[in-house]
Amino acid sequence: MNGLEPLTGEPLALDLLNTLPYAAQGPPADHLADAAGLVAWLAREGERLPEAEGVREASPDDLAAVRAVRAHAAVAVAAARRGERPPASALRGLNEAQLAAPAVRYAQWDGDAVVVTPRRSGPPGVRVAAALAEEVAGLLADPALARVRECEAEDCTMLFLPAHPRRRWCSATRCGNRARVARYYQRHKDAP
């Protein structure tokens, strides 16, 4: 691992894709290379992924389920961003992940009213994979997908949904600063 944390705070489907190997500085890093990486990433996502609450360890099967969703998501999102039809195999993989742990709207009395919360059954990895596949499906159907950008830094492949149309980098502190420093040094190097 190159020491950089994975980019988070984008739509959850993009955060998943941003765990793919990249090399913003140093050797490429895959933030889901092992079960410990999966657990660390799930902890970073916090409340955004209720299915991951309390996950302190992950099995190889858990890791495989999440990585399979990530692989299908990468193919489907890349095709959709190019304006192409996502491959049927990628869509089928996302659907199968959701079917492995469908969400049930669980109703319970909280003392004052009926509260409904979605719940999934099954091993942690299957539940997390299903929730992530649902997020990816939502992104694929969202018109905002057309605005998703790849970081303009030469050695970064992070994806982001810009809140401002002039945003060029995944993170101003990560790639933006490096690009500005590189431009500064280039200007001063070329100066007489």
33-53 per-position pLDDT tens digit: 999 999 999 999 988 998 888
Q: Are 4 and 25 in contact (CB under 8 A)?
A: yes
In a domain, 21, yes or no: yes
In a domain, 118, yes or no: yes
In a domain, 1, yes or no: no
In a domain, 176, yes or no: no
* Distances 111 to 5, 108, 114, 116, 118 between C-alpha atoms, Å: 41, 9, 8, 13, 19
What is the domain count for the chain?
Answer: 1
Give the angle subtended at the CA of 81 by the CAs of 75 and 86, to the nearest 5°.
40
68 phi-psi bin (left φ>0, alpha ψ -120 to 50, beta other)? alpha
Confidence class of residue 180 from pLDDT cuts 50, 70 and 90? low
Read off the CATH number of the domain in which 141 is found. 1.10.3300.10
In a domain, 135, yes or no: yes
Q: Looking at the predicted structure, is the pLDDT value of residue 113 above 60?
A: yes
For the CA atoms of the chain, what is the radius of gyration?
19
Instruction: Give the per-residue pLDDT at 170.
Output: 84
Domain of residue 144, residue span = 12-149
pLDDT in tens, 49-72: 988 888 889 999 999 999 999 999
pTM for the whole thing? 0.85
61 vs 171, residue with greater confidence: 61
Which of 49-58, 126-135, 156-165, 181-190 shows the lowest mean pLDDT across its residues?
181-190
